[in-house]
Amino acid sequence: MIISLLDRSRTRAGEPEPAALRGTVARAARAENLGYHRVWVAEHHGVPGIAGAAPAVLLAAIAAATRTVRIGSAGVMLPHHQPIVVAEQFATVSAFAPGRVDLGLGRSPGFTPPVRRALRQTDRDFAADLTELRAFLDGTAEVGLHPRPDGPLPMYVLATGSGLAIAAELGLPVIVGGPLLRPGGEPALAAYRRDFRPSAQQPEPRVAVSLDVLIADTAEEAADLLLPEAWAMAQARTTGVFPPLEPVSVVRAAARTPRQQQYLEQTAAAAITGTPAQVERRIAELLDRTGAAELVAAGSTFDRDALAASDAALASLVGGKPEQDHAIP
């Protein structure tokens, strides 16, 4: 099993927002020592609960604090940017971390209409943008990329149903989550594998799965770790505001509507939480059902020490080691 972490730089109540970015860098350094294969960061704009708005800048800070772990974006939202700018940014990051930078790309819209207007977002052809971006990275575009990456800079697609088809056509690996991981999502993954066209980067289809994973000494404690994130999601879906993480005690005491309770339960059902043995069993079942090559653990919680302990417990399930093997991108 290849395991990676996705850290979205979640802000926390009572904490200055820049602390979330420093926490991401510190977590990446710990992940390297624990033997994680890769650390991913994400892109969000205008979201009070997330400080991660500039993946390339954050990855440069992580590159300076690490030496061997792979680092990447999961992802950069390509409709927000011109492909050449993304290529230049990640080629620059790669200059500081040669051979260990990955570029994950998605096409989610801005969080709210004002954010989409601020981003000057328009309808874009995602497949065409991916093709153009790849041409800049491999040196076949009409405009040369500077700095030139020292080596390959792998691209990944954050895929939904239609995104899977685009990734298959372009011969790119995918990172999937949400509904595609539920029972019934297998036909979409099978179609991706069936329709996959080998490319210079990827000779065969490759799937990574991403979801919340949190471990504690007891199942009850692990479920509590998920509560701050689940409550933030419930508020976002009912009020339109995605807030900073709050302590478990605050979440437990908060009044909630039946609809918010329903969303809490949905988030819990989509996550993997429990003791090390329980989590190991559920991960094995998920990887067996999806045929995934990589698990991207995206869990977050208010208590940073508890999150660090969960990361360590997850790494121990696969016998993490400090030196990384970068032969498998």
User: What average pLDDT does the segment 137-164 reach?
Assistant: 91
For residue 138, give both structure tokens.
């491999």
Looking at the predicted structure, is the pLDDT value of residue 311 above 60? yes
320's CB contacts (< 8 A; 6+ apart) are 3, 34, 35, 36
- Give pLDDT, residue 29: 98
Place of tokens 């860098």: 25
- Give pLDDT, residue 326: 40
Share of the chain above pLDDT 90, in %: 84
User: What average pLDDT does the segment 101-126 reach?
Assistant: 86
Looking at the predicted structure, is the pLDDT value of residue 260 above 60? yes
Task: Write down all domains in the chain, each with its CATH number in brackets.
Answer: 2-213+275-317 (3.20.20.30)
Looking at the predicted structure, is the pLDDT value of residue 327 above 80? no
pLDDT band of residue 324 (cuts 50, 70, 90) is: very low
pLDDT digits (tens, 9 = 90+) for 35-63: 999 999 999 999 989 999 999 999 999 99
For residue 111, give both structure tokens.
């969080």
Handedness of CA 300, 236, 8, 24 (dihedral sign): negative
> Over the chain, what is the mean pLDDT?
93
Of 254, 329, 317, whose CA–CA distance to 104 is shortest? 329
**Least confident residue range of 69-78, 156-165, 258-267, 317-326:** 317-326
**Least confident residue range of 92-96, 182-186, 324-328:** 324-328
**CA–CA dist 275, 223 (Å, integer):** 10
Across the strands, what pairs with 215?
274
User: What average pLDDT does the segment 227-234 reach?
Assistant: 97
- Give pLDDT, residue 320: 53
**CA–CA dist 87, 147 (Å, integer):** 10
Place of tokens 């700095």: 147
For residue 214, give both structure tokens.
């949190």
- Give pLDDT, residue 291: 96
For residue 203, give both structure tokens.
């000779």
Beta strands in 96-206 (DSSP E): 101-106, 155-158, 174-176
User: What average pLDDT does the segment 157-181 reach?
Assistant: 93
pLDDT digits (tens, 9 = 90+) for 187-223: 999 999 999 999 999 999 999 999 999 999 999 999 9
**CA–CA dist 300, 227 (Å, integer):** 10
pLDDT digits (tens, 9 = 90+) for 270-296: 999 999 999 999 999 999 999 999 999
Torsional class of 176: left (φ above 0), alpha (ψ -120 to 50), beta (otherwise)? beta
pLDDT band of residue 325 (cuts 50, 70, 90) is: very low
